[in-house]
Structure formats: structure tokens, C-alpha cells
Amino acid sequence: MIGIEKLYIENFKSYRNYSLSLDNKYKHIVIYGHNGIGKTNLIDSFSFFSNSKGLRGSSLDTILPKNQTSNITTKIRMIVQSDRNILNFSLQINKEDNKFKKTLLLDNKKISLSNIKNYIKIIWLSPYMDKIMYEGQTLKRNFLDKMIMQNDSYFNKIILNNKKDIAERFHILKTIKDTKWLDVIEKKIAKDFYDIFNIRRKYAEEMNSIICSKLKKFREIKIKYKNTFFDDLIDKDRLLDLFINELRKNREIDEITKRTNFSINSDEVNIVDKKNNINIEACSTGEQKITLLTIILANCWKLKKDNSKFILLLDEATSHIDRSNFGKLFDEVDKFDTQIWYTGTNKSLFQVIENKGFFIHLQ
């Protein structure tokens, strides 16, 4: 099992100085206390080892303790036991001359955020994510892309490369307008488009299979990608020509609008409630929350299948599922050989795991 053994926090949001030691015989860690006491801030601190903006999507200038204006250092240290190995991760954020510098370390050696994911991934579900299911295509698409990145380092690399190539194309359009150079970069962009579209669809197929076989107690849903430019990706050469021609055709309008009018964002994500055969956006808020939970759990099953190490954070778990169904959630996450963190306002919310959990009361 993988899990955090010790956590040290200094100058992070509501925490000036805090340390926590955990008994590694427990894999269920429950943090409870009144609203505003710092439950989410605690788990948010180590979520920065998985995401540049953490669980709450915070920019670096918002992580300092309130009313702190001097140049100080934020330090977070996370000691993780993974099988028989001890991993010593640390994060340091310095504010100097109103600029922030972030440094990540593993055993006192610098490491990138993407390389940390080779050792451990931190997956979470929080109330801040509820809007993903109802607030437009961009949030859904980015949400699924981030989960694919957790499973596929090549996808992460190709997304970053695609952004660089798009920026280079804009530079050429705006300055020298070299058509031969544009032809070369657009050919490269078209290939990236094809690979991204393809990986997304393969991931959706695998997630749908996992949901159907492993998560029958939860929402019966299906993830589908749709694109107005093509129906399938079978004929790669034909599609590459189509993508190149579309980019070439849009050069003038792209330069004027300062956006790539045909891009990976042309993909539309549809999440369908299989039982009622309707789009999840037409379902109730409660059904949308369960759908989000189902997708997160399916992703955890995929990570488990691929032998990837992860820790699961369920912030305000009972806001996503009613108390009568919390037992189902616990039974499901208990199947993962990993540490699971929960937050909630009252210990009584977690009666179903009272004898299996390590409880932390924040006051």
C-alpha cells in the first residue's frame, strides 16, 4: 500500500506551522471539524505535488497565510511509504521582489511535477468540481484530458508540444508569413491533432468498459466524443490531409481572431445517462454529482489496473453522495490498495468506517 506517513506544512494558507504523523495500518484518513477550520487547506497542501494549482485551482499568490505581506517561504514536506520504499517529497515556494519561485524536491534533489507522477499520483473529488458536469464543454474536455495525462505521459507531452506549435504558427502568421514554414508546422500540428483525438477516444472506451464492469452500484453512464469534422479515425492519411487543409484554409481568419478555429477543442464531450438515454446535463444536481464520482472511481480502477500508485482525496465526501449510499462508496474505495482521505464537518458522517479509519479532529 502507498500512503503518507508524515506531513509538515509551513506558511500555507491558514497553516503557519503544522505537522502530522499517521499510523500506516490505517488507509482511511478522516479529517473533521467545523467549516472554515482548515480541513480542505490541509489536503490542498499536498495536492500541489500533483497539480501546479492544487485541489482548489489556487495561484501561487493566494497560498500565503492571510495578512502576510513580507517575503516568506512556504514549505510542504510529504514523507510517503510506497511498498518498502520511503519517498521524501518537498515543495518550497519563495516570494522575492513580488515574484514567486517554486521548487520541487525528491530526497533533496530537484524533480519536475510530471516526474513526481512516476512515483505517486494524487486524485481528488471536491465540491469545486461539481460545475464540470453542467458548465459547458471546456470544463468537461479539460477534466478528462487531465485524467488521461495521469495515465499517459505521452498524451501530456503531446498536449504541451501542440500548444508550442500553435504559438509558433501564430508567430509566423503575424510576422514573416512564410508559407513553406507554415506548411511544415501545420503538418506537425495535424499529426498531433490526430494523436490527441485518438487517445481521447481510446481512453473513453476503456473508461466505459470499467464503468460497466466495476461500478454497477453507481451511475450507468457512457462517455462519448463527437467531432463535426469526422465520424471516425480509421483513415488516418485522409484525416491528416483534412486537418492540414482546414488549418491552411483558416490562416487568415485565425490571424484576425487570434485563435485557432480548428483545434483539439473541436472535440465535444457527451456524457450520457444510459438508463434514461439522456445527456447528463439534463439530469438533477445529485445525479450529476454521482456521475462525477463514477468517472473519478473509474479512473482509479484504470490506475490500479496499470499498477500506478495513487492517493485518493474525497473532500466533503458526503456532499457528493447521501449518507445512505456512503457505505457503497466506502466499499468501492476500500478495494484500492491505497490511502484514502476524507473531509467532513462531523465525525458521525463517517460511522460506516469508524473502526477502520484514522480520525483527525481539527479545532
Q: Which residues contact 67 (CB under 8 A, 6 or more apart)?
A: none
If you average pLDDT over residues 49-57, what whole number do you get? 91
3-state secondary structure of 336: coil
* Domains of the chain, earliest start first: 2-120+310-361 (3.40.50.300), 137-273 (1.20.1050.90)
Query: Which of 59, 55, 87 minimizes the C-alpha distance to 74?
Result: 59
Residue 100 has pLDDT above 90, yes or no: no
C-alpha cell at 294: 463514477
Cα distance between the two ends of the chain: 30
Q: Which residues contact 190 (CB under 8 A, 6 or more apart)?
A: 240, 243, 244, 247
Task: Tell me the pLDDT band of 68, cut-offs 50, 70 and 90.
Answer: low
Residue 286 has pLDDT above 90, yes or no: no
* 232 class by beta-carbon count within 10 Å (0-12 exposed, 13-18 middle, 19+ buried): exposed
Q: Is the pTM of this model over 0.85?
A: yes
Task: Tell me the pLDDT band of 183, cut-offs 50, 70 and 90.
Answer: very high
